[in-house]
């Protein structure tokens, strides 16, 4: 089915003249169309590396990624990516930023405009079509990034800590907006985050990674419907469980712990 993802034995080794660093080892995961999967793990364990290999922006050392039964051997229109730093073009308006992928694909001007305006409204930015990037707040910029990813109608959206730079209130709003938007589009989402609270709030499943070389420590399925109550005993208990798992990966030789996401 289009949007299904199969990741088999994915590994990545970085090589320099002095040494080799194994970032990821034998990572395998099956993801169904329409799922929202979050990936959490210790800092520097390879979460972004996984996303970049799925996006086709980086070649794996070994292993395969298939989307809808097709092997990914480079970037493609079936996968969109949303970055933490927005990655918007400051010289373009909101509409022109959202239209960019359609422009590259050769979509006619009238259709580009219609589709861009529809997705701009879907992320709550109706009326800001002609605004420039410097006129937008952080949350608004991230909405533009999401609209730009969605407008090409990808099967999969890859999100690399997209809300990490936002204040807490805006971050919570954007989490709710993401759930609303993806529920309407039935898009498959793979979302990297350092926030365990965020992962428990938005996910269908949470993939917990070990320290580098990253392997899957546990995959946690969340049966609760949305919206979720962050103050409920069940929410708090799961959050604590995942934090404890991450803390165990950050134990130092002296018995102290490093920072936990």
Same domain, 225 and 144: no
**How many folded domains does the chain comprise?**
2
Same domain, 23 and 95: no
CATH number at residue 36: 3.40.50.300
Same domain, 134 and 106: yes
Token output for 32: 């169904």
The Cα–Cα gap between 49 and 57 comes to: 9
State the pLDDT at residue 77.
86
Same domain, 60 and 164: yes
Same domain, 111 and 21: no
State the pLDDT at residue 257.
46
Choose among 69, 63, 51, 57: nearest CA to 12.
Answer: 63
State the pLDDT at residue 87.
86
State the pLDDT at residue 3.
67
Same domain, 125 and 221: no
State the pLDDT at residue 6.
95
Domain extent for 7: 1-78+159-168+179-261
Kindly state whether residue 117 falls inside one of the protein's structural domains.
Answer: yes
State the pLDDT at residue 258.
46
pLDDT digit string (tens) for the chain, length 261 residues: 566 899 999 999 998 878 888 999 999 999 999 999 999 999 888 899 999 999 999 999 999 999 988 898 888 888 999 988 888 999 999 999 999 999 998 999 999 999 999 999 988 899 999 999 999 998 899 889 989 988 988 999 999 998 888 888 888 988 998 898 888 778 899 999 999 999 999 999 999 999 988 999 999 999 999 999 999 999 999 999 999 999 998 754 333 444 443
State the pLDDT at residue 1.
53
First to last CA, the chain: 34
Which own/partner pairs from 56-63 qualify as long-range (CB within 8 Å, at least 24 positions apart)?
A: 57/81, 58/12, 60/10, 60/11, 60/12, 61/11, 61/12, 61/13, 62/9, 62/10, 62/11, 63/7, 63/8, 63/9, 63/10, 63/11, 63/26, 63/27, 63/28
State the pLDDT at residue 185.
78
Distances (CA, A) of 148 to 103, 152, 210: 11, 7, 32
State the pLDDT at residue 64.
95
In this structure, what DSSP letter does residue 225 have?
Answer: P
Measured in whole angstroms, the distance separating CA 20 from the mean position of its chain's CA atoms is 27
State the pLDDT at residue 2.
62
Same domain, 190 and 135: no
Kindly state whether residue 203 falls inside one of the protein's structural domains.
Answer: yes
Same domain, 95 and 64: no
């Amino acid at each position: 089915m289009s949007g299904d993802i199969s990741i088999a034995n994915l590994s990545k080794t970085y090589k320099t003249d002095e040494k080799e660093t194994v970032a990821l080892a034998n990572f395998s995961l099956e993801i169904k169309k329409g799922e929202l999967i979050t990936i959490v793990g210790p800092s520097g364990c390879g979460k972004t590396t996984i996303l970049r290999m799925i996006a086709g922006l980086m070649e794996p050392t070994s292993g395969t990624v298939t989307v809808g039964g097709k092997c990914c051997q480079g970037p493609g229109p079936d996968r969109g990516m949303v970055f933490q730093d927005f990655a918007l073009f400051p010289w373009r308006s909101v509409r022109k930023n959202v239209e960019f992928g359609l422009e590259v694909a050769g979509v006619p001007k009238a259709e580009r405009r219609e589709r861009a305006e529809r997705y701009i409204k879907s992320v709550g930015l109706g009326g800001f079509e002609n605004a420039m990037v410097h006129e937008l707040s952080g949350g608004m910029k991230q909405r533009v990034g999401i609209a730009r990813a969605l407008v090409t109608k990808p099967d999969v959206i890859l999100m690399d800590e997209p809300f990490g730079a936002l204040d807490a209130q805006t971050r919570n709003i954007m989490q709710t907006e993401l759930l609303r938007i993806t529920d309407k589009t039935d898009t498959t989402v793979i979302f990297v985050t350092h926030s365990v609270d965020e992962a428990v709030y938005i996910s269908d499943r949470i993939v917990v990674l070990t320290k580098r070389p990253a392997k899957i420590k546990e995959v946690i399925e969340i049966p609760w419907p949305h919206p979720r109550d962050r103050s409920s005993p069940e929410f708090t208990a799961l959050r604590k469980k995942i934090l404890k798992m991450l803390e165990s990966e950050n134990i130092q030789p002296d018995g102290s712990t490093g920072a936990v996401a």
